[in-house]
Structure 1
Amino acid sequence: MTFEQESEPYDVLVVGGSGVDTTVRVDALPVPPADTHGVPAIREDAGHTGTGVALGCATLGLTTGFVDFLGDDHPGTLVRERLAGSGVDFHPLISPHGTRRAVNLVSPDGRRMSFYDARDPLDLRMPPEHYLPLLRRTRHVHLSITHFARFLYDDIEALGLPVSTDLHDWDGLTEHHRDFALRSDLVFLSTVGAGERISSVMREILRDGRAEAVIATAGAGGAYLLTPEDRTPRLVPAAVPPGPVVDSNGAGDAFTCGFLYGRRRGRDLEECARLGAVAGAYACTAEGTHNALVGRAALRAVLSPSPPPSVPAAADAQVSATGA
């Protein structure tokens, strides 16, 4: 079941990144060696990055599409049930390889360690006839770093659409992420993978790619914003969560949603990052993945009083020109 909005263009089309998370709460990370650990009730939720961005954007009132491969299996059913009635217009293709999975170990302070089962073979491709009609009615594309999604860049660029991506814990070296890093207009990543090298990795993305901004999230340490006009990354302080931090799963995805919401409202990059920080903090207050989605009221409370016109006008014109 999908939420159909055929007469209305998408504010955001999310490509790839659906799946199911199994969350196991542990006493500490790393987990001490032992044959057996007793744990609280194990959760199983529709999750992963694409699902989170799609749900978060829809909750913020952005018209949201989502396209991906999904297995004809129990995890696939969980994803469909989670998206049904959410406002996300979901267009899945059945993959014989099944639905992606992850097992997330979460400590009492909300930190997590994730074990990711990607499943997709390297030769998996999405047929253009499935995704092109969706691209043509889109103002902005967000690509998850699933392998098949990289092959949509040529069509996205031909349509003149802005595109964002989240590299997650990229260390700046792994080749899988490089196309996404260098061919996106907004690049999100966390500081975890690159560590002390994060500033140089951010500068390399700007120097070698097409990004207008690179944003590195650092959990409770806030986030860092780098644009071509900056000599060094700007610190964006972390927002205060509205409740106790219990689970950081999905916080980065929520940050992306807050940021994209700001861009659709015409806000500058630093204000978008502040909105992302609020959304990310909110996501940490519920167990499981994508179970605390920030609404517009919480973000409007931190907006400056006089918003400029909505952007990007060029993308709006592109949607009109393609008959969406």
Structure 2
Amino acid sequence: MEHAEDIDVLVLGGAGVDTIVYVPELPLPYADSYMIDSGIHARAGQTGDFVALGLAALGLRTHHLDLLGDDPEGDLVRALHRDKDIALTAIPQPAGTKRAVNLVGPDGRRLSLYDNSRGRPDDRFPEDILRRLAAASRHAHVSITHPCAEALPVLREAGVGISTDLHNWDGENPYHEAFAYEADVVFVSVTALTDPETTMRRIAERGRAEVVVATAGAKGAYLLTDGELTHVPAAVPPGPVVDSNGAGDAFASAFLFGRLGGEPPHRCAEYGALAGAYACTVPATESAAMSRDALLARAATTPR
């Protein structure tokens, strides 16, 4: 049983398995078949898993809560958390564990195919478990997977800080709005945004966000705080770029590491850029995150 603030970050949702397929190019031209010399690999690690992995690697006490099936995919997720020493509370999911297929091109870009049959509209986290974990946590990072939206009022009532990642939100889909307007820290990719600044300011004006971050891959990120929009340059990757899988999750983890450590938002974003750049050097078939020592060592050479 956790006691008050035994958990630095409670991660909600986003547990699952990705099947990684390295393809010769993206978009992939139609053909009857392709020979995949690099193999087809199933490994645990969706957005919540990778955020939890990144936070734990940075020394934060992390607890992951999600629904998992009694299936081979669920076994892979449980094994990842066990091997990385990340606390996991798995609520039984009769529909099965979330899964996806990621097609990865030679330049590291990906195309994800999500199986949305692994859930039911009435799925919920048991309120007693959610309240107990929230009461023991300093902060909660909420994935946009179902049923996390229904957990937001309980987290708000518990008084924990809340962050979320809207991923490739187009700024219009109403599903994302509950997350965008209830979180104190909001991450979003610019990928599908026609006007990132307008969307960022709308999030801040309509919701609770103290900080809004729009990540832009090799172009860096944009940070909105106290009404001021600034650009954070991308960090130089410490090795060859092989895969963009997990870069946004790594960014969020390192940003939260800085925030919980009392760093100002711009420094937190610099931490995020460093961790995101590192993630791009890790093949999608692996699950690895930047360590605290490595992050701080690289950050020490980054001018404030």
TM-score normalised per structure 1: 0.89
Partner of 2:20: 23
Query: How far is the alpha carbon of 1:49 from its aligned partner?
Result: 0.5
Q: Percent identity?
A: 49
* Preserved CA contact (<8 Å) 1:145 1:177: yes
SS at match of 1:281: helix
CA deviations over 1:55-108 (Å, ceiling 9, x no partner): 110111000011110010000000001110423110101100000001001011
Partner of 1:69: 67
Query: How far is the alpha carbon of 1:292 from its aligned partner?
Result: 2.9
In structure 2, C-alpha distance between the alignment counterparts of 1:290 and 1:236, rounded to whole Å: 28
1:260 and 2:256 aligned: yes
* Preserved CA contact (<8 Å) 2:41 2:285: no
What letter corresponds to residue 15 of structure 1 in structure 2?
L
* Preserved CA contact (<8 Å) 1:46 1:289: no
* Preserved CA contact (<8 Å) 2:54 2:290: yes
What letter corresponds to residue 31 of structure 2 in structure 1?
A
* Preserved CA contact (<8 Å) 1:249 1:290: no
Partner of 1:313: none
Query: How far is the alpha carbon of 1:174 from its aligned partner?
Result: 0.6
1:42-81 alignment to 2 at 5 Å?
42-81=40-79
SS at match of 1:140: strand
CA deviations over 1:218-243 (Å, ceiling 9, x no partner): 1111111111331xx31111111111
SS at match of 1:291: coil
In structure 1, C-alpha distance between the alignment counterparts of 2:69 and 2:214, rounded to whole Å: 32
In structure 2, C-alpha distance between the alignment counterparts of 1:31 and 1:265, rounded to whole Å: 43
1:200-219 alignment to 2 at 5 Å?
200-219=198-217
CA deviations over 1:8-38 (Å, ceiling 9, x no partner): 6111000111000001101111001111112
Q: Which moved more, 1:273-282 or 1:32-41?
A: 32-41
1:14 and 2:11 aligned: yes
In structure 1, C-alpha distance between the alignment counterparts of 2:286 and 2:196, rounded to whole Å: 27
Partner of 2:273: 277
In structure 2, C-alpha distance between the alignment counterparts of 1:162 and 1:76, rounded to whole Å: 29
In structure 1, C-alpha distance between the alignment counterparts of 2:165 and 2:94, rounded to whole Å: 26
Could you tell me which runs of 5 or more consecutive residues in structure 2 were left unpaired when the two chains were aligned.
Answer: none
CA deviations over 1:151-181 (Å, ceiling 9, x no partner): 1121111121110000000001111111000
In structure 1, C-alpha distance between the alignment counterparts of 2:127 and 2:98, rounded to whole Å: 22
Could you tell me which runs of 5 or more consecutive residues in structure 1 were left unpaired when the two chains were aligned.
Answer: 306-324
1:87 and 2:90 aligned: no
What letter corresponds to residue 158 of structure 2 in structure 1?
L
Label 1:276 to 1:263 Cα distance change in 2 as closer, same or farther (>3 A).
same
1:112-127 alignment to 2 at 5 Å?
112-118=110-116, 119-127=118-126
In structure 1, C-alpha distance between the alignment counterparts of 2:265 and 2:300, rounded to whole Å: 13
In structure 2, C-alpha distance between the alignment counterparts of 1:76 and 1:51, rounded to whole Å: 12
Aligned with 1:291 (options 284, 287, 290): 287
What letter corresponds to residue 113 of structure 1 in structure 2?
L
Provide the aligned length of Structure 1 versus Structure 2: 299
- RMSD, aligned CA: 1.6
Query: How far is the alpha carbon of 1:117 from its aligned partner?
Result: 1.3
In structure 2, C-alpha distance between the alignment counterparts of 1:5 and 1:207, rounded to whole Å: 36
TM-score normalised per structure 2: 0.95
* Preserved CA contact (<8 Å) 2:53 2:288: no
SS at match of 2:7: coil
In structure 1, C-alpha distance between the alignment counterparts of 2:250 and 2:198, rounded to whole Å: 25
What letter corresponds to residue 112 of structure 1 in structure 2?
R
Query: How far is the alpha carbon of 1:205 from its aligned partner?
Result: 0.3
Partner of 1:135: 134
Partner of 2:148: 149
CA deviations over 1:244-290 (Å, ceiling 9, x no partner): 11111111000001101101111000000000011011111121166
What letter corresponds to residue 110 of structure 1 in structure 2?
G
